[in-house]
Amino acid sequence: MSAAATSGRARSSGKTDGSLGTTPPTWMQAILMSRYQFRDYLRSRRFLLMVGIVAAICIIFISLVAHYRPAVVIGSGSAFYSMAWVGGAEILIIFSAIIFGGDAIAGEFQNKTGYYLMGLPIKRWSVYAGKYLAAFAASLVIILVYFVVLLFAGAYFVGGGAITAGVFESLAMVALYLSAVLGTTFLFSSLFKTSMYGVIIVAIMFLFGFALVEGLVEALVGVTPWFIITWAESAISYPITGLPSHAGLADRSIVLLPTYAQGIAVMLGYFFGTTLAGLALFDREEFT
């Protein structure tokens, strides 16, 4: 053992007690946490998997369009971006949530990584928020890669004029929807201490669970399923397609499509509601 290493317990400025450093504010710890967690995501196999999924979607889509040149897709910029960009982004959001968020909190318990952090002078919500921000950033990177590829593809197939401000507005809507989906994913993940359960529940709910409940609520109860997150999903495409004429209007007492404001409200509601609930759960969870 190095004598130099252990001698003296050298002190430095900023020390307030027996140890080096002054504990930073909670929000700063959340940012720091997210930075390292993001780095962990970028180096992980799951990130490579997501890159692979994006590459596969892009290659298949561009190959098909280049070969068949379907008018329904390349007939206008609106058609191209609403089908290719919005449709693909919805799939990527769900996959990102499953892959980056499904085990984000449950894994802290199962993998015992939580023990590495929770003995530190840090509030639990810093860890939760840090992991959420990292998952959001990793998902957004994937979605941005897809977005950039499709911008070029759209310019090639439809022409540069197809890239309107609406395309970028829809990117903002995608980011909002992603935040709501990840909030919900983190809540599900907080319910379990086993990664697999978190991933399975998130996959089931977002791949068909919410759609099933939405359909059942409409068909059996005859109520607009505004409280189901996937009901708001359609609003992502509005900046490109424009607001459909029947959005917000009832068809036999059921509103099938939300208005812009309704879509945004549901997404924000899910983001805040699920994040607060997830935080409360994580704060009370014990590392037994």
Partner 1 sequence: MNPSIEARDLTRHFGAFTALDHLNLKVEGTKCVGFLGPNGAGKTTTLKMFTDLIFPSAGEAFINGISVQKDRRSALSSCGALIETPEIYGSLTPREALELIGSLRGMERADVRRRTDDVLGEVKMTEWADKKVGKFSKGMKQRINIASTLLSDPDVVMLDEPSTGLDPRGMAEVRAIIRELKGQGRLIFFSSHILSEVIDVCDEVVLINKGKLLFYDTLDNVNARLTQGGTSVDVEFLGPVSDDDAKSRLSSIPGVLSWSRLDPRRLSLMVQGGPEVRSQVLESVASLHLGLVGFHESRSALEDVYLREISTGDS
Where does this chain bind partner 1 (CB under 8 A)? Answer: 1-2, 4-7, 9-14, 16-24, 26, 29, 32-33, 36-37, 39-40, 43-44, 111-123, 286-288
Q: Are 134 and 37 in contact (CB under 8 A)?
A: yes
User: CB 125 → partner 1: shortest distance, Å?
Assistant: 12
Return d(Cα 82, Cα 241) in angstroms, integer.
7
Q: Write out the two tokens for 246.
A: 């029947």
Letter string b/e over residues 246-285, b meaning 16 or more CB atoms within 10 A of that residue's CB? ebbeeeeeebbbbbeebbbebbebbbeebbebbbebbeeb
Can you name the residues that pair with 250 across neighbouring β-strands? 255
* Cβ proximity to partner 1, 113 vs 259, nearer residue: 113
* Cβ proximity to partner 1, 96 vs 224, nearer residue: 96
* Cβ proximity to partner 1, 24 vs 273, nearer residue: 24
* Cβ proximity to partner 1, 32 vs 211, nearer residue: 32
Q: Are 203 and 102 in contact (CB under 8 A)?
A: yes
Q: Is 124 exposed, middle or buried (0-12, 13-18, 19+ CB in 10 A)?
A: middle
Q: Is 24 exposed, middle or buried (0-12, 13-18, 19+ CB in 10 A)?
A: middle
Letter string b/e over residues 129-139, b meaning 16 or more CB atoms within 10 A of that residue's CB? bbbbbbbbbbb
* Cβ proximity to partner 1, 2 vs 253, nearer residue: 2
User: CB 212 → partner 1: shortest distance, Å?
Assistant: 36
User: CB 230 → partner 1: shortest distance, Å?
Assistant: 32
Nearest to 190 by CA among 142, 236, 125: 125
Tracing tokens 């009370």 back to the chain, one arrives at 284
Q: Are 100 and 41 in contact (CB under 8 A)?
A: yes
User: CB 77 → partner 1: shortest distance, Å?
Assistant: 40
Return d(Cα 182, Cα 231) in angstroms, integer.
16
* Cβ proximity to partner 1, 108 vs 214, nearer residue: 108
* Cβ proximity to partner 1, 100 vs 147, nearer residue: 100
* Cβ proximity to partner 1, 6 vs 245, nearer residue: 6
Return d(Cα 134, Cα 128) in angstroms, integer.
10
User: CB 105 → partner 1: shortest distance, Å?
Assistant: 14
